[in-house]
């Protein structure tokens, strides 16, 4: 059982000491070597990864969305995956659970390569995961209660009394204990997202994948969600991987961050390293600088500035 806590956070942007900001990239010190920067791809070593991705490439027709991505996700930690719009973050998440199959590369969950296993075995591996989809992905013909109970009824032999106890606990965690009989078309987008979160938590999974969990939520509920994510990792030891655009939220909740840009993983490291890095894509993305490799659109990107 996860016990919600209330955190008092003295929040200060970790990059503030360097003095990043403004419209132009800041010139790094003369001795700066981007290839030696801890956040440069391959430089951060994870000793006990729960998921390892190697050389993942995914295309749709002639459009290559992800290219040669390798990353290790640390066990029992929160990792956020960020990047400009259209960089394939949600596609990447779906490859991690086998909802999409990469054209090339491997995805290892522990000792299992999910890109080279039977459908039956893949379904077993997926029981380790809880997934919060971007829109909640609720079953339209089921109530909030039944949506949350679905994985317990589908994958366990628990009695309805046991299921009710678990469902009510999870719905209380997300503030929906008063909406158990409502249908998805009777609740707001934010409530659908919270119901999807309760369902993702129902099996107390080893790994949680959150796709844009803060979209459709107001700042207060986003803060509650961040606190809940921290509680889950500290009390259950779960690994959480979050795709998000919301930099302040990612900065507050994550242990590690990955940055996608133009189909590639261009940076990965601890949160403080990412925000304090002189590496151009980190400077620009995390501090809102308009000049740099990331353009208003992909056609205006300047990858030569990486």
Domain extent listing, the chain: 34-139+208-305
Q: What is the pLDDT of residue 16?
A: 43
Query: Which residues, 6 or more positions from 68, have their beta carbon under 8 angstroms from its beta carbon?
Result: 55, 56, 57, 104, 105, 264
Task: Please tell us whether the domain made up of 34-139+208-305 is placed in CATH 3.40.50.150.
Answer: no
Q: What is the pLDDT of residue 22?
A: 59
Q: What is the pLDDT of residue 109?
A: 95
Q: What is the pLDDT of residue 114?
A: 95
Q: Tokens 């309760």 sit at which residue?
A: 198
Q: Which long-range contacts (CB under 8 A, 24 or more apart) does 94-103 make?
A: 95/53, 95/56, 95/58, 95/66, 96/51, 96/53, 96/209, 96/241, 97/126, 97/129, 97/131, 97/209, 98/122, 98/125, 98/126, 100/58, 102/56, 102/57, 102/58, 102/66, 103/57, 103/58, 103/59
List of the chain residues with pLDDT < 70: 1-23, 136, 216, 296-301, 303-306
Q: What is the pLDDT of residue 305?
A: 67
Q: How far is CA 214 from CA 108, 134, 201, in A?
A: 28, 9, 16
Q: Which of 151, 161, 72, 58 is CA-nearest to residue 102?
A: 58
């Amino acid at each position: 059982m996860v016990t919600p806590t209330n955190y008092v956070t003295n929040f200060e942007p970790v990059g503030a000491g360097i003095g990043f900001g403004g419209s132009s990239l800041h010139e790094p010190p003369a001795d700066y070597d981007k290839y030696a920067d801890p956040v440069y791809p391959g430089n951060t070593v994870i000793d006990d990864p729960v998921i390892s991705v190697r050389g993942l490439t995914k295309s749709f027709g002639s459009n290559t969305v992800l290219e040669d991505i390798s990353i290790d996700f640390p066990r029992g930690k929160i990792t956020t995956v960020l990047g400009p719009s259209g960089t394939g973050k949600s596609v990447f998440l779906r490859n991690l659970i086998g909802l999409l199959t990469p054209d090339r590369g491997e995805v290892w969950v522990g000792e299992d390569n999910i890109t080279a296993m039977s459908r039956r075995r893949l379904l077993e591996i997926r029981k380790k995961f809880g997934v919060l989809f971007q829109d909640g992905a609720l079953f339209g013909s089921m109530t909030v209660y039944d949506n949350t109970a679905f994985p317990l009824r589908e994958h366990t032999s628990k009695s309805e009394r046991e299921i009710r106890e678990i469902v009510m606990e999870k719905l209380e965690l997300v503030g929906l204990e008063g909406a158990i009989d409502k249908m998805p078309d009777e609740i707001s987008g934010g409530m659908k997202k919270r119901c999807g979160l309760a369902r993702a938590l129902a099996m107390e999974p080893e790994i949680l994948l959150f796709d844009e969990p803060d979209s459709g939520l107001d700042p207060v509920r986003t803060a509650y969600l961040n606190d809940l994510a921290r509680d889950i990792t500290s009390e259950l030891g779960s690994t959480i991987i979050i795709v998000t655009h919301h930099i302040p939220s990612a900065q507050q909740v994550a242990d590690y961050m990955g940055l996608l840009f133009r189909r590639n993983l261009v940076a990965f490291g601890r949160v403080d390293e990412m925000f304090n890095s002189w590496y151009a894509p980190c400077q620009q993305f995390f501090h809102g600088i308009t000049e740099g490799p990331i353009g208003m659109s992909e056609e205006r990107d300047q990858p030569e500035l990486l």
